[in-house]
A and B are shown apart, each in its own frame.
With several copies, the nearest count.
Chain A
């Protein structure tokens, strides 16, 4: 049985001091400790971004792939190696912009994965451009000098519409609560989505206010999609809690054992 800190790999993060991603790392190690996770049987899969650097910092297997493709890599790995605990992690840019399609289809596919998005409403790694979750009038990016002027992407509402069977929102400033969410997400059979509010101190210093603004909203028992939809269409995006849990059949159905098979006879004349 390892302690939380023993789930750190010892590689020092390149993150800015105060970055929310530290809180997520902290929460993952705590969840692993609670799960008594064997390090060799867990794999963290990510794309590209500050947040996507996380796998290297955890004492487990990791795959740091290309931008936006964490979920397909995780899906292939989990389907091929169902006994592993596979967790995809990344940022809002990685997951909702370039990776948006995989997000939708992972929600429908319901492979037994956890997907944790560290949402700081910005592209941290490329120097602070607007991401899909950036507020419409945030005009700090040179690429959108008048703000993106678009309706922000609503990850939880979309996950629900796309068919995710576990939807929660955590806060990097509350690593213990987040650890519990991750713990439950791992235990949940099927695709579990956790949006984590994870401040970017460098490009969005205003997110320090989240400490005051984030509020608890527990719908732990909510397995009614209509009720969840009603809640998610109304809330301010800063509620943390379990919004939806409704286990449905996991894909793929469990495998038949592969034995000696004859693939050739059909071709014989």
Chain B
């Protein structure tokens, strides 16, 4: 860190040095391994060339559905944990009905020998504990003719919409559990599937114990018995499809959601103040922070609303303490005015926006990428700021770290766009390397040389002005959202205005040089580039691999730095191919419109949620373009 330059003042705000004081725990990897970790689907750094290493044949997608306390979500989580112990990587997403609790639900699990960051198109194995309301998941549980269904004997009437062609096996999980005195057919199903995947009884019991931590030992014992009975059933009546093969991962692996990883990334990069107002699907970021930030010496405040939350974070940021808040669409809209204040007053601020279906209250529990416009354009006046997108659940960690460093370094607002899919999916991933970013204010010019007046908003070469924080003697100034002179006095002068506007825009240009602006995989002889952002990126990689198999090599690029857009670098990527297809999950094609504003000639494929974008539909789009 640059010297603070002032002797006495420093002592009582030593934490401004931003020594995070965090041990990096397990599986610390060197800095240069980071990008391998972020885009787990592929091999090397930044934009790599070569075949997409992902082989579709190796993976399997298992879905559990049920309702009213049947506990399918719990089974999904326990099975993921157990399968991970066997050597699988995997991803789990959850889907619910509108009830607050006890509603119908589904857990969709994808397992593979190597890291997976996105979901597949179809379901290989569907385990049904209860058929009622199954149609509610029609958008999400897509049955192919090769889907294999295992239904509980007590699952009720199978809906007519289930294709006749699929193979169906009826097993009496309920009866099996019942004979042991348990009502939990879900645990029997867990045992059944676990055995098929090669989990040992210990591994399954360990998962059960982890999940049922607070239960008494009799309950745990009974659950273990039921699971074992389920394992027995698998030996007798295995599912009529081959079990996938686990990998042989050497590194330490983690099980975490994108939201947890975002929160961890923020803390590791130096966030020490969080202001929180709960909102789905961002609340769990805040909740994780609430239970961990104290340990770092930081603070979380539950605010009365989003207006308070964002202004509290600005207050802390003004005080030199790296600060953030997290929200979702409606909350981000409420924060717009104050985000402009962060821009004008040049106060570091990180805002994580975990997107859900919009507009308005919309579809709060489902994923969509509809807040691009608001994040990039939603401030009044000319207010340049930074917008990043996280490219996978794992990348939430990296991107929050980067955003934290950017906000402090550039004294700016950094909005990070994640979404419900990235944020709430649970991923098995290699342990991330040590956080490469640290929040640091550029305080080189402080305090002013004796006799000089401190110029808070000085127009420096880099555009980054010297930022004093309270406690620095001799550098007192009043930060202002009113336009101001370099000396921080309010000014309505055209010259001051032009100077500050230009400076605030120019200072962000430094970011354009960053290699982190995008991730990608190139293939030799590719004629088309699939360009995506956020949670579309893993889907695009998957499509790339399908297309490769079909003999259509394409390049894939996921843009992490959405604004300011490194247009030249992007152009260079686009120039390598003859067609560009922009993909995103929203109705209006917001990102594509944005790119066209820079002059990009592109095709665009976009549609709203809540149905996830699939590799198959992207593949079809690409094939149509390539054929034409």
A–B touch (CB < 8 A): the answer is yes
> Which residues of A are interface residues toward B (Cβ below 8 A)?
9, 11, 14-17, 19, 38-45, 48, 50, 55-56, 59-69, 71-81, 83-84, 97-98, 100-102, 104-105, 123-127, 129-130, 132, 141-145, 148, 202, 252, 255-265, 267-269
B294 engages A256 (CB within 8 Å): yes
A84 engages B311 (CB within 8 Å): no
Bound Cα distance A68, B333 (Å): 14
10 further interface pairs, Cβ-Cβ under 8 Å (given A40-B472, A65-B481, A79-B312): A9-B476, A17-B102, A19-B100, A38-B473, A59-B476, A72-B303, A72-B309, A79-B273, A261-B296, A264-B431
Note all chain A residues with C-beta closer than 8 A to B313. Answer: 76
Bound Cα distance A69, B23 (Å): 37
Given A56-B478, A62-B477, A75-B312, do A268 and B25 touch, yes or no (CB 8 Å)?
yes
B98 engages A101 (CB within 8 Å): no
The yes or no answer to B549 lying at the interface (CB within 8 A) is: no
A83 engages B297 (CB within 8 Å): no
Count how many chain B residues have C-beta atoms less than 8 Å from C-beta atoms of the other chain.
98
The yes or no answer to B12 lying at the interface (CB within 8 A) is: yes
B360 engages A66 (CB within 8 Å): yes
B299 engages A267 (CB within 8 Å): no
B323 engages A76 (CB within 8 Å): yes
Bound Cα distance A265, B98 (Å): 35
A268 engages B315 (CB within 8 Å): no
Given A65-B341, A72-B303, A263-B25, do A14 and B99 touch, yes or no (CB 8 Å)?
yes
- Closest residue to B290 on the A side, CB-wise? A143
Bound Cα distance A43, B287 (Å): 30
List the 10 closest pairs (A to B, CB-CB), nearest first.
A258-B297, A264-B25, A76-B315, A62-B478, A76-B312, A72-B311, A80-B316, A77-B315, A73-B315, A98-B305
The yes or no answer to B461 lying at the interface (CB within 8 A) is: no
B254 engages A267 (CB within 8 Å): yes
| Shortest distance from the beta carbon of A15 to any chain B beta carbon, whole Å | 7
> Which residues of B are interface residues toward A (Cβ below 8 A)?
9, 12-13, 15, 21-27, 81, 84-85, 98-103, 252-256, 260, 264, 267-268, 272-273, 275-280, 283, 286-288, 290-292, 294-321, 323, 330, 337-338, 340-341, 345, 360-361, 428, 431, 470-482, 489-490
16 A-B pairs with CB atoms under 8 Å apart are A39-B473, A55-B478, A61-B477, A67-B361, A74-B315, A80-B315, A80-B323, A81-B321, A81-B470, A143-B302, A145-B291, A260-B21, A263-B267, A267-B255, A268-B431, A269-B428
Note all chain B residues with C-beta closer than 8 A to A79. Answer: 273, 299, 301, 312, 316
| Shortest distance from the beta carbon of A43 to any chain B beta carbon, whole Å | 5
Bound Cα distance A164, B295 (Å): 30
B316 engages A143 (CB within 8 Å): no
A261 engages B23 (CB within 8 Å): yes
Bound Cα distance A100, B277 (Å): 14
Note all chain B residues with C-beta closer than 8 A to A38. Answer: 473
